[in-house]
Each structure stands twice: as C-alpha cells, then as structure tokens.
C-alpha cells in the first residue's frame, strides 16, 4: 500500500472557453485515487482563476487541459500571471493542443517555450501524468515503503 505522509495539492482545469469536461474528470479521479488533493476548477477556467486557486490552496502543481484547438492562444502570458502571483508550482499541459495533425514534437516545443514543465498529448494515460508528478514533486513510491515527501 502506498501511503502519503503529506498530501500534495494539484490544481486542475480546462483553460479558456473550452468546455470539454470528460478528460479532466478522468484525471481528477486518477489523481485522487493516487493520493493527491485535487482542486478541479472545471471547464472554461481563466488564467487568473488558475492563479487564484493555486495561491489559495498552496498548490504544488497546476495541470492545464485544452481540447478545442486554442491552447496556444489561451496560454499566452499564463506563466507571467503565475509568476506575478509568486506561484512556484510545477506546470503541465495536456490534451488536444494543436489544430489538425501537427507534429507533436513541434507542439511540445511550443508549450515548453510558453513555460510548461511537461507537455502531454491526447493519448496520455493518466498514470503517465501521475508518474511524472511523483518524480517532479520528489515523491518516492514503492510497494512496501511509505511515501517520503522531501520538498
């Protein structure tokens, strides 16, 4: 059994005017089951709402979802908003991030340049995001050991 000695808080939402809710619902359930405290802001979340929630909940990670093809526009300046609010959380983005069939490596580069620590495509299994969070937040897991929070 994996025990978390201290819960890590993840803020999750769909950015901009995007109303696709199924993906973040699945992510919320998977993250909760893995022991994270999840603050799900739902669909059509503004940059400012992400920042406010991250401050209010002292989030360790901010996860942005976008499906409708406008992620690049919606995320312009997002990391400036987070920086202005003194938020030092890990940031991930995932979903259907490009319009059409763009090369995903190009998409990854675009969003890394916008400041995201990790970029995931729409084929991502929630377990991949959980494994990445455990690495980035320095949570060590094993079948027998208790989770150690080092940060």
What distance in Å separates the CA atoms of residue 74 and residue 92, rounded to the nearest whole number?
14
Q: Is 96 annotated as a binding residue?
A: yes
User: Which positions from 77 through 116 interact with ligand B12, judged by CB under 6 A?
Assistant: 92-96, 99-100
Residue 9 binds ligand B12 (CB under 6 A): no
- Using CB under 6 A, pick the residue from 10, 11, 27, 53 that binds ligand B12: 27
Instruction: State yes or no: is 20 an active-site residue.
Output: yes
Q: Is 97 annotated as a binding residue?
A: yes
Taking the least distance from each CB to ligand B12, the nearer of 4 and 70 is: 70
The site for ligand B12, by CB under 6 A, has a size of 26
Q: Is 99 annotated as a binding residue?
A: yes
CB-CB contact of 15 with 47 (8 Å): yes
Phi, psi at 46, each rounded to 5°: -80, 160
Of 6, 34, 59, residue with least CA distance to 125:
34
Phi, psi at 81, each rounded to 5°: -65, -45
Taking the least distance from each CB to ligand B12, the nearer of 42 and 147 is: 42
- Using CB under 6 A, pick the residue from 2, 4, 20, 35 that binds ligand B12: 20
Residue 146 in tokens: 């208790």
Q: Is 66 annotated as a binding residue?
A: yes
Taking the least distance from each CB to ligand B12, the nearer of 21 and 85 is: 21
Instruction: State yes or no: is 79 an active-site residue.
Output: no
Q: Long-range pairs for 134-141 at CB < 8 Å and ≥24 separation?
A: 136/61, 136/90, 137/8, 137/60, 137/61, 137/90, 139/4, 139/8, 141/2
Catalytic pick from 4, 20, 57, 70?
A: 20
Contacts with ligand B12 by CB under 6 A lie at 17-23, 26-27, 63, 65, 67-69, 92-96, 99-100, 120, 122, 124, 126, 129
């Amino acid at each position: 059994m994996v025990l978390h000695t201290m819960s890590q808080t993840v803020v999750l939402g769909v950015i901009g005017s995007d109303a696709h809710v199924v993906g973040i619902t699945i992510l919320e359930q998977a993250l909760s089951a893995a022991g994270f405290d999840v603050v799900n802001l739902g669909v059509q979340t503004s940059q400012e709402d992400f920042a406010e929630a991250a401050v209010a909940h002292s989030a360790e990670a901010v996860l942005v979802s976008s499906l409708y093809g406008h992620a690049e526009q919606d995320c312009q300046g997002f990391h400036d908003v987070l920086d202005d609010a003194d938020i030092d959380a890990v940031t991930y983005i995932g979903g259907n991030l490009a319009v059409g069939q763009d090369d995903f490596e190009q998409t990854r580069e675009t969003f890394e340049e916008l400041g995201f620590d990790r970029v995931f495509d729409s084929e991502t299994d929630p377990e991949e995001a959980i494994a990445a969070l455990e690495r980035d937040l320095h949570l060590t897991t094993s079948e027998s050991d208790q989770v150690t929070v080092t940060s």
